[in-house]
Amino acid sequence: MSSSASWKTFLASQLKINIEQQGLSSTYTSLATVRPDGTPANRTVVFRGFAGEDHSSETGWQSDLLTTTSAIRSRKITDIATQPKIELNWFMPGTQEQFRIHGKCYIIEESNTDINLIDKELEEHITKKDINVEMNNDKNNLATRAFLTRLKNNKKKFDWENERLRQWYRMNDHLRGTFSSEPKSPLEINDMDNQGWFLNNDSKKQKLLEEGYKNFALLIIKVEFIDHVELITGTHSIFKKDDNNNWILKKLS
């Protein structure tokens, strides 16, 4: 990971407190983009965790890259393809604090033409942990097992298509369904094949799953700076990088 991202530990621990107090709505954040005509656009998205990581299942990877998901036909995809600089505005009601996260957003979709550039720009942000991960560990969920299977087939090299697949497994059935041409029917993943590919026992649902997966994109956010406000204490700070590329916390008030 590029230096030690001090904001990551802080953000993760504040989020944990908020989820415990308020539930999963604490993962809702507003994603602001710029439309191709220069006007602002803003919508709610769900934070899906740090790329490569799963809070309950060990993947062997860690990153300081924020993940959310989108349908490829969605307008935000056009916005980001035109102007990748974005801002997340994340209010956490349990602890009464606001994170305004400024960064660059990368779209990971089926037909990534610029995947080499994405790999290069994100490479130092996603790293392998110094641990041995047991692939067939029963404690691992299906998403992690599929990820580790493909990783093994790919000579243990992290790749973004594998990460997109892992996040597809992690969606709930109802949400997965919304990506297909029958958005009201939930799509379960019953199992995986020996290549890590998702399977549904019903051939019609399998077709819808594969169709939905084509419409499914990851939005990966590389953080550039964070403006943080605590309402209770009135503290206003910025996490930013210094001239030596180390993250620092600067108190403004």
Ligand X SMILES: Cc1cc2nc3c(=O)[nH]c(=O)nc-3n(C[C@H](O)[C@H](O)[C@H](O)COP(=O)(O)O)c2cc1C
C-alpha dihedral (182, 188, 191, 193), degrees to nearest 10: 20
Residue 41 makes contact with ligand X by CB under 6 A: yes
Q: Which residue from 179, 199, 201, 161 is spatially nearest to 73, judged by alpha carbons?
A: 179
Stretch that binds ligand X, among 1-9, 40-48, 84-92, 130-138 (CB under 6 A): 40-48
Token pair of 19 as six digits: 């989820």
**What would the x/- binding string for ligand X be over residues 6 to 35, using CB under 6 A?**
----------------------x-------
* Cα(60)–Cα(130) distance, integer angstroms: 8
Token pair of 248 as six digits: 């620092």
Write down the least CB distance from residue 9 to ligand X, Å: 24
Q: Which residue from 250, 229, 253 is spatially nearest to 239, judged by alpha carbons?
A: 250
Minimum CB distance to ligand X smaller for 48 or for 240? 48
Minimum CB distance to ligand X smaller for 1 or for 46? 46
Residue 238 makes contact with ligand X by CB under 6 A: no
Return the residues of window 58-87 that contact ligand X according to CB under 6 A.
68-70, 74-76
C-alpha dihedral (170, 59, 127, 151), degrees to nearest 10: -90
Residue 43 makes contact with ligand X by CB under 6 A: yes
Residue with tokens 């090299």: 157
| Positions in the binding site for ligand X (CB under 6 A) | 28, 41, 43-46, 68-70, 74-76
